[in-house]
Chain A
Amino acid sequence: DAGVIQSPRHEVTEMGQEVTLRCKPISGHNSLFWYRQTMMRGLELLIYFNNNVPIDDSGMPEDRFSAKMPNASFSTLKIQPSEPRDSAVYFCASSWTGGETNEKLFFGSGTQLSVL
């Protein structure tokens, strides 16, 4: 199994530009998570999908952020317009949720985003 695949690995863009991050979860997993990691705030949950449906998007910072999961094998996180404070590492993770709680998350290698 290739694990969770994220692209691009690095993204450098200018303030105001649109940024799209991509994620392919592990085949057979039914939950997908987008996290943002910074030194100051640690790992923050942005949004969580279960069976392709957004369940909790309370962590999405503001309307500039949007996420989609059109099918079980693909998700995107879009930032439009991007701002320097969005600079961080963005992780996608997937898991199999058979019960009520997700515990065993498998993370991708992340996208290092720098907004100049």
Chain B
Amino acid sequence: QKEVEQDPGPLSVPEGAIVSLNCTYSNSAFQYFMWYRQYSRKGPELLMYTYSSGNKEDGRFTAQVDKSSKYISLFIRDSQPSDSATYLCAMSGNNRLAFGKGNQVVVIP
């Protein structure tokens, strides 16, 4: 089993829809959970950062962590064409940082 699993399948949604992305992981030492956003021909940029289980909101973005299930999610409400990007989950703990492969999201106007 890979340390971090993220289904890389592209996702196309109409503008205004809710985007739902998720990752699973196998390493129980992971304590910090991040989502990075990567625009085309750019480097990843940190979008959300959480530590504990539960939800964290930042504007239209909600990050959800369920440590018992080793499952994290990112929700984007009222999606905009400017949200079109690749979203990578990342997690760290015990001096280990691992990234998912990324989900390409396209928001269609």
Contacts and interface: CB of A to CB of B under 8 A. Distances in A.
Interface of A: 4, 41-43, 45, 91, 93, 100-110, 112
Interface stretch (B12-20, B64-72, B73-81, B95-103): B95-103
Contacts, number: 54
The 4 closest A-B pairs by CB, nearest first: A107-B43, A42-B101, A43-B99, A103-B32
B97 A103 contact: yes
B33 to A, nearest CB: 9
Nearest to B97: A102
Nearest to B99: A43
A65 B50 CA distance: 34
Interface residues of B, number: 23
A91 B36 CA distance: 14
Interface of B: 8, 31-32, 34, 41-46, 49, 88, 90, 92-97, 99-102
A102 B49 CA distance: 12
B102 A42 contact: yes
A104 B46 contact: yes
A42 B93 contact: no
Nearest to A48: B97
Contacts of A93: 43
Given A42-B101, A42-B102, A43-B99, A109 B93 contact: no
Contacts of B44: 43, 91, 105, 107
A101 B97 contact: yes
A100 B96 CA distance: 10
Contacts of B95: 100-101
Nearest to A3: B43
Nearest to A45: B97
Contacts of B46: 104-106
B99 A42 contact: yes
Nearest to A100: B95
14 contacts: A42-B8, A42-B88, A42-B101, A43-B44, A43-B88, A43-B99, A45-B97, A93-B43, A101-B92, A101-B97, A103-B34, A103-B90, A107-B45, A112-B41
